[in-house]
A and B are shown apart, each in its own frame.
Chain A
């Protein structure tokens, strides 16, 4: 669904022809060192940032290169793609339940009762239903992460993008987040996760794509790519702190 995408930030060309596919029910880890262009790729797919050439197609909706189109032309894409941001992006003035129901009530025009029932079910799946009436600033990092996932999942997107979801979590919470993501994939959601956390990718991804120099240098099942890599960029990734922590 991502074909030969090129994108630049200012004079710097970040992506030089990236192609990627995420099938329904599959977890794809987009790996690379900091500045490799992982976030740029995710933002282009979510129509938050522009790309110069190539094509991006999600669920039959094709994004054209150039400036990001106005929101009125992105309705179909918005229903298909959910995004969980790296920085805490929960709405600080709304409770957990209101964060999750916002899109259902205002974008999808559900009744409040129906939206709240759906939201509570989602929060229960993610293990944070007991925090429904809390405000974002009262949550722990792990809880906030799960609420952010619940909010992105509420409109039932086919593709869920997660930008560095493990960066703020301790190892135990990373494991439990991985379990949650596996369960979502089992329900049929496609997941594209940008990460430089080798353990996490190895443990939970179906496929790994390594981004370096603006192109995908290696792609395949995690064990193949991460254990026997011949590629210098992948080896560099394996030498990163998270990889060394494996001992």
Chain B
């Protein structure tokens, strides 16, 4: 009896001690991207300040296994790796794919889910496009920075397909349905979700490859990673993970097979070497330079459009009747008052029901139409800055209004407009990075892909900045020289 009593007291004390330690331990901060949505991580429709999804529940399991409280940290999916090394959170989990490079740079948990990379095509093409090999010269979309994108890049030279990278996993499928791309290669979970949501495409049953989701920790946190692995194995064994996956409707026989294999093999899962093993600067420089050409061509074409349209808008507002001036003023204010990002989205996705613009053309139009509004204000101000006596002198000489604009007012206004125009062009060169949202891979996007792959922004960032400067500095210099020549002459 006494012994029992002592044992009870010891147990209660130990439990209390445990509870106290648990309470005093800091919460487990874990990072994920709620924009990725269900079933990974999504804002809870019942309480948008909370998140839910299988990654959320697994993070909960891990935290409780560590006797800590889980705290969610929102992070952009493409920044999870950089953020975890910075120490923003202890573990990143949001459909993070297992890759060799990931393991080289971070402490990575054992995979907790096996997914299949599947090919989605339009129903009419289901017998034509069965595998990647059938897609020579066709556009294949996927999410940038994923294993699927890496695979498309690796297969590009052999098959001759055209990889198209997206910033989100919704638009690849809508563009597939609308015919902008011919296939989408992504995780079966994402493909199934899109099929349920909007439909209109067919998923090839044979997977292109399999992959795994893992948790990613900072390299220095390998001890914590080992504890997490112990917890994950225990939860595989006791069926908690299966229960979560079943609840989120992503459990199938292949998953059961994977769990059995993972529990039998105590070493970490073997991983096939990536086709892109060479991560040196030399390997990425050609891609960066090609992307720089895209940026330059895009910027030049957009600026040409902006200048031509801007001159028209300015002339209309200076010379036009009230009926002409009013709509032009509305255009300028509307464009200047709304984000260019929104305009690009509307142009590319919003109008796609009526007119399906190719991405590059939409980018040129979007930037050109946007900058035209700003240019027109510069030209309008410059035209109005030319003294009235200059125009009257032209009139008394018998020149027509059009001749006065072309020979007297325009050339002088151009000299006034040159400096602000150059500023705008340099700004446009940098704003052109926004068009990656409509799948154009330009310099910044290519740099982001590079940075994701090497797991650091330092070298890619410096290279990217150097290329931008190499493009913008000569331009500023040219403008300065022209200004000097015109003012000194």
Tell me the A residues contacting B by CB distance below 8 Å.
46, 48, 71-72, 75, 78-79, 81-83, 85, 87-93, 102-103, 106-108, 135, 151-152, 154-155
Given contacts A92-B412, A93-B415, A48 and B400 within 8 Å (CB-CB): no
**A106 engages B389 (CB within 8 Å):** no
Chain B residues with Cβ below 8 Å from A151 are 393, 397
Would B489 and A135 count as touching, CB distance under 8 A?
A: yes
Instruction: Decide: A48 and B408 in contact? CB cutoff 8 A.
Output: no
CB distance from B98 to the nearest CB of A (A): 66
User: B412 — which chain A residues lie within 8 A by C-beta?
Assistant: 91-93
Residues of B within 8 A of A81 (CB): 396
- Is B390 close to A, CB under 8 A? yes
Interface string of B398-433 (1 = CB under 8 A from A): 111101000110011001000000000000000000
Question: Across the interface, do B395 and A48 meet the contact criterion of CB distance under 8 Å?
Answer: yes
Given contacts A87-B389, A89-B390, A93-B415, contact A78 B403 (CB under 8 A): no
CB-defined contacts of B408 to chain A, threshold 8 Å? 91
CB neighbours (8 Å) of A155 from chain B are 397-398
B399-A107 in contact (CB<8A): yes
Whether B398 lies near A85 (C-beta < 8 A) is no
Residue of A nearest to B392 (CB): A48
Report the nearest A residue to B403, measured CB to CB: A106
> Which residues of chain A have C-beta atoms less than 8 A from B407's C-beta?
102, 106
Q: In the complex where A89-B390, A91-B390 touch, is A79 in contact with B398 (Cβ < 8 A)?
A: yes
CB neighbours (8 Å) of B411 from chain A are 93
- Whether the pair B399, A103 counts as a contact (CB closer than 8 A) is yes
**Inter-chain pairs besides A48-B395, A155-B397, 9 sampled, C-beta below 8 Å:** A71-B400, A79-B398, A82-B396, A88-B389, A89-B389, A92-B412, A93-B412, A102-B407, A106-B403
Contact, CB under 8 Å: A107 / B489: no
B399 neighbours in A (Cβ, 8 Å): 71, 102-103, 106-107
Q: A102 to B489, alpha carbons, bound, how many Å?
A: 19
The chain B residue sitting closest to A85, CB to CB, is B389
| In the complex, residue of chain B having the shortest beta-carbon distance to the beta carbon of A90 | B393
Known: A93-B411, A93-B415. A71 touches B395 (CB 8 A): yes
As a 0/1 sequence over residues 372 to 399 of chain B, the CB contacts with chain A under 8 angstroms (1 = contact) are 0000000000000001011011111111
Q: Number of A-B pairs whose CB atoms are under 8 Å?
A: 66
Chain A residues within 8 Å of B389, by CB = 85, 87-89
Q: List 21 A-B contacts (CB under 8 A).
A: A48-B395, A71-B399, A72-B400, A78-B397, A78-B398, A85-B389, A85-B392, A89-B387, A89-B393, A91-B393, A91-B394, A93-B415, A102-B407, A103-B398, A106-B407, A107-B403, A108-B398, A135-B489, A151-B393, A151-B397, A154-B397
A79-B397 Cα distance, complex, nearest whole Å: 8
With the chains together, A48 CA to B391 CA distance in Å? Answer: 10
Shortest 3 CB-CB contacts between residues of A and residues of B: A78-B398, A107-B398, A103-B397
Report Cα–Cα, A146/B389, bound state, in Å.
Answer: 17
What separation, in Å, do the CA atoms of A88 and B393 have in the docked complex? 10
Query: Who on chain B is nearest to A43 by CB?
Result: B392
User: Quick one: which of A48, A106, A108 contacts B396, CB cutoff 8 A?
Assistant: A48
Looking at the assembled complex, report how far the CB atom of A62 sits from the nearest CB atom of chain B, in whole angstroms. 18
The distance from the CB of B387 to the nearest CB of chain A, in whole angstroms, is 8
- Distance in angstroms from B174 CB to nearest chain A CB is 52
> Which of B389, B393, B407 has the largest number of chain A CB atoms within 10 A?
B393
What B residues does A72 contact at CB under 8 A?
A: 400
Closest CB-CB distance, A65 to chain B, in whole Å?
A: 19
- Taking the closest CB of chain B, its distance from the CB of A104, in whole angstroms, is 9
The complex places the Cα of A195 from the Cα of B401 at a distance, in Å, of 30
Give bound CA distance, A89 to B394, whole Å. 9
Please, how many angstroms separate the alpha-carbon atoms of A78 and B389 in the complex? 16
Chain A residue at smallest Cβ distance from B404 = A71
Which residues from B are CB-within-8-Å of A135?
489
CA distance A82 to B415 in the complex (A): 28
Do A46 and B396 have beta carbons less than 8 Å apart? yes
User: Nearest residue in B to A151 (C-beta to C-beta)?
Assistant: B397
A81 to B389, CA, bound (A): 16
Taking the closest CB of chain A, its distance from the CB of B239, in whole angstroms, is: 84
User: Per-residue 0/1 for B446-489: is the Cβ within 8 Å of any A Cβ (1 yes, 0 no)?
Assistant: 00000000000000000000000000000000000000001001
**With A and B bound together, what is the CA distance between A81 and B400 in angstroms?**
16
Shortest CB–CB separation between residue B393 and chain A, in angstroms?
A: 4
Known: A91-B390, A93-B415, A102-B407. A75 touches B396 (CB 8 A): no
- Judge whether A102 and B397 touch: CB under 8 Å: yes
Q: Closest CB-CB distance, A101 to chain B, in whole Å?
A: 11
Considering residues B389, B397, B408, which has the most beta carbons from chain A within 10 angstroms of its beta carbon?
A: B397
Flag if A75 contacts B397 (CB, 8 Å).
no
Bound CA span A81–B489, Å:
32
Tell me if A107 and B397 are in contact (CB < 8 A): yes
Query: Which A residue sits closest to B408, measured CB to CB?
Result: A91
Residues of B within 8 A of A87 (CB): 387, 389
Q: Contact at B398–A75, with CB atoms within 8 Å?
A: yes
B486: A residues at CB distance < 8 A: 93
Nearest CB on B from A192, distance (A): 13
Chain A residue at minimum C-beta to C-beta distance from B489: A135
Which B residues lie within 8 Å of A75 (CB)? 398
Task: Give A180 to B411 CA distance when docked, in angstroms.
Answer: 32
Q: Chain A contacts of B394 at CB under 8 A?
A: 91
Q: How far is the CA of A67 from the CA of B394 in the complex (A)?
A: 19
From residue B402, how far is it (CB to closest CB) to chain A in Å? 9
Q: Complex: how many Å from CA A46 to CA B392?
A: 10
The complex places the Cα of A151 from the Cα of B400 at a distance, in Å, of: 17
A78, A79, A154 — which one has the most chain B CB atoms within 10 A of its CB? A78
Output the least CB separation between A164 and chain B (Å): 13
Chain B residues within an 8 Å CB radius of A79: 398
| B395 & A78 in contact (Cβ 8 Å cutoff) | yes
- Chain A residues near B398 (CB-CB < 8 A): 75, 78-79, 103, 107-108, 155
Q: Are B393 and A85 interface neighbours, CB within 8 A?
A: yes
Closest to B396 in A: A83
B47 CB to closest chain A CB (Å) equals 66
Chain A: CB-nearest residue to B414: A93
Q: Which residues of B contact A92 (CB under 8 A)?
A: 390, 412
On chain B, the residues within 8 Å of A71 by CB distance are: 395, 399-401
Q: B residues within 8 A CB of A154?
A: 397
Please pick, from B392, B403, B415, B489, the residue contacting A89 in the complex, using a CB distance under 8 A: B392
